[in-house]
Chain A
Amino acid sequence: MTGRNDPAQIFREEAADLLTELESTLLRLETRPADRDLLDTAFRALHTIKGSGSMFGFDAAAAFTHHLESAFDQMRTGKIAPNSALIGVALAAKDHIRALIESPAHADPAEGERLLALVAAQTGAAPAASPASAPDLADEAERPTTWRVRFRLAPDAVERGTNPLLLLDELSGLGDATITALTDAVPPIEELDPNRCCLAWDVTLTTTQPLAMIQDVFIFVMDDADLTIEPVAMDDRPEAPPANAPATVAQPPADVSPPPAPRADAPTLALVAEAAKPAPSAPSGQSDADAAKVAANAASSIRVPAERLDDLMDQVGELVIAHARLKQLIGGSADLQIKSVAEEIERLSNGLRDITMGIRMVPIGTLFGRFRRLVRDLSQELGKGVTLTMSGEDTELDKTMIERLNDPLVHIIRNSLDHGLETAEERVAQGKPPQGQIHLSARHAGTRVLITIRDDGRGLDRDRIRAKAEEQELIQPGAKLSDADLFQLIFHPGFSTAKTLTSLSGRGVGMDVVKRAIDSLRGAIDIASTPNRGTEITLGLPLTLAIIDGLLVRVGKGRYVIPLFAVEECVELPPGEDRRHLGRNFLNIRGALVPFIRLRESFAVSHPPDAYQKVVIISTGERRVGLVVDQVLGDHQTVIKSMSKLHADVANFSGATILGDGSVALILDIGQLVAVGQSFEPQRDAS
């Protein structure tokens, strides 16, 4: 339908990125209204959306964006100051732009009018023209005006890819232009650095286009360039260029056709442009460095469709498997030459694997950024003051993982805001600051990433969870449960302790969804909570979904992979501990009772058991379960292959992998097995 090369689709993707950037910029602007860089970033994003939008036929979006852009231009020029209300409108307007771009047919024009009226009210301007009208200001378009445009580019502009000729061409495209190069800053030839731009230009332009169109020409360079644009009276036009201008390109004003002169003169211009010491007027160091960084980033990164990365990962997975086969084949060989080649291939394939996995890594800040808006909107809706703080935004995670973390994190944050945090009055009564705190953090812990959502609210209500669980017969009345076990109950489907339903949460459909989403990512959830001090939810996630370290075990004739992150230890099953005849399946691990599952029985293996059975202790968070296997074979680089729909109903396995000898091994589903192990005793009682 929409291919990869569909320009409209490309625009939509680009616009989605820009809108995301715009949103985070606006939110930061709210806390730092004086920051010029943020204003500029927001303005540029709007400008690009407007420009590309009209180029690809998103006229409604372009027209609407134009008005917002104008408001930001006024902020940029200091005519009005950014304030919270204005940013609130801008955020809503951003959503409207998104709607206009994604489904123009469904966007509500009345909403657009309403937002524009709000923007106009904030900027103090007369209500903006209807968004359907063209962005050009019609009244100015009639009479030609003459403008004097003087600009000097930053000295390193050429190095950064700016082509002054294109700017000049664009200017002359607007109307009659007389272009004069100012060479006063050109140093003597021996001091000339050909990579630097030390020319400035003086352009007299007569055009029917409005001032905004002239400013548009310089949109991407104006931060670093000295630019003055001023109107001149018709008779005020300079008769002659400044005296010290040998490289003058004068163009007869009568010549309306695109000017050949600058192009013909290009070698000269280029030659002179490649001259010189830095121009005296360097822009402020900070913004220059930022701009350079942005430019460098833009130049050294490319957009790649995610499917191609998936394909690459598949290929690397194949290579890892092929190498494992090679290793197995030559394992017994005494040929040193072959062995050294195999080692070389191992080194290369490991390197390739790491690089490929690295390519797919995205800083989690891209995800966290979205929650600023969520928290802002929710805190206003609920009337609770909330401060959102973050740390570890640069922690990297697999791209797929980041996408799939969005929904569970939204659920958790909503819950924290809605149920966890008290109202300001309640907080003050508790002796807490009226502003609630939510802290998001991410950090690496070994091969896992830990994402923590912490609030300083009222904490989980143990008694209510217990009462609710007893009411729903999830636990026996009076059963002794650790806090961790008790808190895990909130992930049970249909479990909600909220007394009243709100529009946000409380229907009990949230937390079990969270649990399932995290399980599907091979992750674990831990909850810690102190009454009146707050709740901390920690998600432990693997770095990637594609390749994991696994422990290869044998049960009967079959081989299975246990994800290594879940493995705590391996012990031998002492014959004395085998008390199945007593109706018990518990193992004493340093004083703690750990239930165990005989995989032989779960998998209905008929092959006779090995004399010495091993127990692999696995855990998710606080809960531990032992898996009895025949043999522990060792670690295995596991390339995860999903199972087809035909096996969707098969419990106990989360996927499959291919072993060194080419055969298939199943990957055990840790979450499922732990759940089975925990419910082991009641099941046995029932049977």
Chain B
Amino acid sequence: MRRYGGFLVLVALVVLAPIVFPGNYFVTVVGVTIAFNALIAVGLNLLMGYTGQISLGHAAFFGIGAYSSGLLTTLMGWNAWLALLAGLLAAWLVAEMIARPILRLKGHYLAMATLGFGIIINILMVQPTHITGGPDGLADIPTLTLFGWAIDSDIRWYGVATGVMLLGVWLALNLINSRIGLALRAVHGSEVGAQMMGVDIERIKVRVFVVSALFAALAGSLFAHQQGFISPDSFSFHFSIELVVMVVLGGMASTYGAVFGAAVLTLLPETLVVFEEYEVLILGAIMMGIMIFLPQGLWVSLSQKVKQIIASNRSTTNPSAIS
């Protein structure tokens, strides 16, 4: 129970938000974007937070999912769910293919390689205009139908997006608490050390990389159907960076932190619109500020504070409760 207390709180938040604020733009519209971003961030956090590997190219997997769904449904007339599966398959294949050579790289070399991979995939979306629609994008992507029930309103999309996001969080939590999770933490601590303990590091790193790619591709497929239109700008280097910022902003190695980071970074531009031209400046300052002063991330630092306060309250009211 205690293990999943946080998860229940998250479920309650997700369910209550549209009831308390019915039809609110920030819940039903921005909420969907947050859910997609959170799903990717939770996956990326598995990679970054638990294996200590960075990826500056995860927008590519998001894009592979989105373009698979978009192209297969519009050009080939596939069933949307089949296309979604094909998108996952494509992301899985690509991730399997590049994971081994890329994950052999360390630190900044890995950053460069993933960044380069993201840029290559983006160019593949831009250049073959006759297939992908090029920079003008791919339009008229049909919406999803679930048991004969078209997901065509914001609130329905809210349900689907947050549902999938919660599923992703649940999976991630289970993965972390499993034997693989233990091995993962060993890898993060010290690769050589873990290897000596008999952990097949390379295989685990590759697996986690693939899982995080699948999370992103799933979000991408859903995103394509929700938007009805996709273009390469949504899957650029900038978005890869944003994803990394979401993970780090929340606090690495914290699944809830990733969700929180995704929420903050998605809401930030929406609220910064009032600052107009200062928006870019403020965004940069916030990124720097948080990393300098709260290197553990916003979520982890905040939750530690809260725990401290609770603990000190308890100790004052009931000193014997400490044990």
Bound pair (A, B)? no
